[in-house]
Structure formats: C-alpha cells, structure tokens
Amino acid sequence: MPEFRRVDIISDPAFLEHVTGRDHPESPERMTAILERLDRSPFAFSIRRVAPRSVEREFVSSVHNEAYLFRFEETCLSGREYFMHPDNRVCYETYRVALLSAGACLTGIDLIEDEGPALPFCCIRPPGHHAEAGLALGFCFLNNVAIAARYWQTRYGRRRIFILDWDAHHGNGIQEVFDEDPDVFYASIHEHPTFSFPGTGYADEDGNGAGKGATLNIPLAPGSGEREVLDALSCRVAPAIEAFGPEAFIVAAGFDGHVLDDMSGLSYTTRLYGQIGTYMSAWAERYCGGKVLTVLEGGYHLEALASSVEAYLAGLSMKV
C-alpha cells in the first residue's frame, strides 16, 4: 500500500458562481468533476479541504493595472456577457469570484509558510495564465500564478521563484509579467504556437533585458505524449532548475493536453500527469524544502480532467 502526504485542496462553492453560459468549455462542472473524483480517490483520507480568502487589492495591483481592474469590475457589474473578447464570458459575480480565485493561491502560500510541509492544490476558476497586465484572454481575467509569485516574494521574502507551466497552451500572461525579471523563472511545455492558441511560446522567446535566460519555452509538435514530455522534463527543465536554484515552485497545472481533450492536439495520458507529479515532488524536496504550490489552469474534458488531477496529486503526494 502506498503512503501519501496530506494534500490541501483549496476550493469554494463560489467558484460555481462564475457562470459562462451553455456550451462554454470553461464550465462550473469542471470543479464538481474534480472534487467528486478526489472524494473517491485512494488518498481521499489524506485530503484536507481549505477555504480560500479573497486577494487584497495591493497584490492584484502588483500584476494588473488599475484601469484594467476598474474596467473588468465595471463590465461584470453592468451585466455584460463578455470582457474584451467573446471567449471571456462574464456574469455579475465574475469579478468577485476572480478575486477569490487569485486569493486561493495566497491561502496556499500561507499554508506552506505557516504549516511547513503542506501540499496545496488550488482547485479554482476562472483560470489565469493567459491574462496579461491589461488584457483578458483565453477565459482568464486575473493572472493567479503571477499574483501568487509576487505575493510569495513580497510577503515571505522568497525571491527566486520557479514557475513550471504544462498546460497545453503557452502561458503568455505569465511570460509577459516576468519577461524582464531575472528572479522569476518561467518554463512552459506546450503545443507548438504554429498550431495552438495563443500563438506565443516559440523556443527563441527566452526573456528580455535583465530577464534574458529566465524564460524557457518548450513547444511540442501535435501528437506529442509521454516520451516528449518526460524528455523535456529531464533534459531541459531539470538543468534549468539546477542552474536557477529556486526558493519555491509554482505549478501552472493545465490538463488540456490529455488525448481526450479536444482543446489541443497533444496526446498526454492520465499516467503522464502522475509522473509529472512525481517529478515535482522530487524537485521541491531537493531544492526548497518541499515548497510547491499547484494552481489549476485548463482542462475541459471532465472525465479526463478529474482523473488527471487525481493522478497528478497521487504522484505529488506519494511517499517514496
């Protein structure tokens, strides 16, 4: 029988209140599918549910500009159906729920810093990695991961943060925020931008100015699966982590690379997400006392999403 470390699932019924309308892939049902699956998982007994707090304005403002935030809030409260692009559906509650989604990441960091070996998984929506300082994109409004990285630095003095993003799509928003920042390393494995939204994340995008070299993009051809991802992790990501020397990890965990998920042409298996969890656990232990915050991004095939989250968290929390 494998043994598991405790996992803290940070979620809230309020995440169901960001209503995106019929047939929108970024649906409230995503939350329900994940949480019901985890309740039945082999490590259900080691899961603790934690309620998130809302993010304070100062931390949202560390990433997004005031004009953008004002416009986002006003759009939701005025009853419009989308913000900036028809993909980005909103309702009256969306602004409040987005603040809670970002706040969940801060709650996770507080757990890690206050309780020692915590393993928080932020089961949140709306997602964040496409949101730029002044741009909503790809169902994302507030860049949860970027806000979390700034919070970790400011509140706890963890200066060197390594972000690993293995959503099927490139996290243009995270890259934009930290493009010239040498202290936050952004590594992304995604479907090649020639074939995939949002069209950024070419291999030669490696940061600018003082941040040159602190961005690593690994685009994969459509059809790529276990072998390509495991090669990328061991041959490209591992040396980057070693050279960078992180004080904390943040994982932008998107599950839309799954072979059953039609939002990408990638062919990831459920098993692969378990293997990625094992990598993350080993790296976090080796480099920074186990400090790893995992934040949900994409993943739209409900059954594949739920089983892949379960596999990832099993890999992350299994004692070796």
Pairing label, strands 120-122, 184-191: unpaired
Specify the residue, 173 or 298, whose C-beta has the smaller distance to Zn ion. 298
- The amino acid present at 312, given as its one-letter code, is Y
For the bound state, the minimum distance from the C-beta of residue 298 to Zn ion, rounded and expressed in Å, comes to 3
b or e along 22-47 (b: 16 or more beta carbons within 10 Å of the residue's beta carbon)?
A: eeebbbbebbebbbebbeebebeeeb
Alpha helices (runs of H) in the chain, residue ranges in sequence order: 29-39, 57-60, 66-77, 94-115, 144-156, 172-178, 226-232, 238-244, 270-288, 302-317
Residues 243-302 that bind Zn ion (CB under 5 A): 254, 256, 298
Work out whether 191 is an interface residue with Zn ion (CB under 5 A). no
Rounded least distance, CB 153 to Zn ion, Å = 26
Residue 27: its H or E element: none
User: What are the φ and ψ backbone dihedral angles of 244, each rounded to 5 degrees?
Assistant: -80, -40
| Shortest reach from residue 254's CB to Zn ion, in Å | 4
How many chain residues touch Zn ion (CB under 5 A)?
6
Burial of 318 (0-12, 13-18, 19+ CB in 10 A): middle
Of residues 92 and 202, the one with the C-beta less far from Zn ion: 202
**Minimum distance, C-beta of residue 177 to Zn ion, in the bound complex (Å):** 17
Q: Which of 96, 10, 14 is nearest to 50 (CA)?
A: 10
Q: Which is nearer to Zn ion, 28 or 182 (CB)?
A: 28
CA 138 – CA 103 distance, rounded (Å): 20
Task: Provide the token pair at 281.
Answer: 């656990």
Q: From the CB of 264, what's the least distance to Zn ion, in Å? A: 7
Copy the structure tokens of residue 229: 């991802």
Yes or no: say if 129 and 216 are a contact pair by the CB < 8 Å rule: no
Residue 283, φ and ψ in degrees, nearest 5: -65, -45
Please check whether residue 273 is in contact with residue 313, taking contact to mean a CB–CB distance below 8 angstroms: no
Minimum distance of Zn ion from residue 300's CB (angstroms): 8
Catalytic residue among 18, 129, 130, 190: 130
Helix (H, G, I), strand (E, B) or coil at 187: strand
Looking at the Cβ atoms of 171 and 246, the one nearer to Zn ion is 171
The nearer residue to Zn ion, 106 or 168, going by C-beta atoms, is 168
**Identity of the residue, 33 or 284, whose beta carbon is nearer to Zn ion in the bound complex:** 33
Closer CB to Zn ion, 242 or 262, in the complex: 262
Q: Is 84 exposed, middle or buried (0-12, 13-18, 19+ CB in 10 A)?
A: middle
18 belongs to the catalytic site: no
Binding mask 155-184 for Zn ion (x = CB under 5 A): ------------xxx---------------
The distance of closest approach from Cβ of residue 267 to Zn ion in the complex, given in angstroms and rounded to an integer, is: 15
Active site residues: 130
Q: Which residues bind Zn ion (CB under 5 A)?
A: 167-169, 254, 256, 298
